[in-house]
Each structure stands twice: as structure tokens, then as C-alpha cells.
Amino acid sequence: MNTPVPTRPIWRKSSYSGGHEGDCVEVADLNGRIGIRDSKNLTAGHLTLTREAFTTLLTHLTSRP
């Protein structure tokens, strides 16, 4: 029986991150969920959201002035 080999997530900087201010948020597809982490503190772990919750978060954040 073949056991699937887990792949490492591919993290990318969010287009909503600050330019050169150091406020960098990275996101990754985690097997159908979305991971969010602080690129300056990789050892702190990450937040995992469903795709629906991630969409709700982005909608909320983009609706703020």
C-alpha cells in the first residue's frame, strides 16, 4: 500500500501585506484550509481557517476604512 508523502506548504506573502514596513503576512493552502502566519516569526506557528472563514475575514478587513 502506498502511503502519501506529506508535502510542505508553499507559503506566499499576502498581497495585503505592507510594502517595506515589515508588516508581512503569509498565506498557504493547507489541504483545503488556509494557513496564515507572521513572516517575521515563523516559529510562532500559524492560524488555520476554513476557506469560508478566510473569505469572511478578508471581506471584513477590506470593508474597514
Per residue in 8-65, pLDDT tens? 889 998 776 666 666 688 999 998 899 999 988 888 999 999 999 999 998 998 887 7
Return d(Cα 16, Cα 31) in angstroms, integer: 22
Does any domain span residue 43? yes
Angle at 42 between CA 6 and CA 4, to 5 degrees: 0
Q: What is the model's pTM?
A: 0.72
Return d(Cα 24, Cα 13) in angstroms, integer: 7
Does any domain span residue 41? yes
Containing domain of residue 34, as a range?
22-62
Does any domain span residue 1? no
Which residues are paired to 34 by β-bridges? 29, 49
Does any domain span residue 4? no
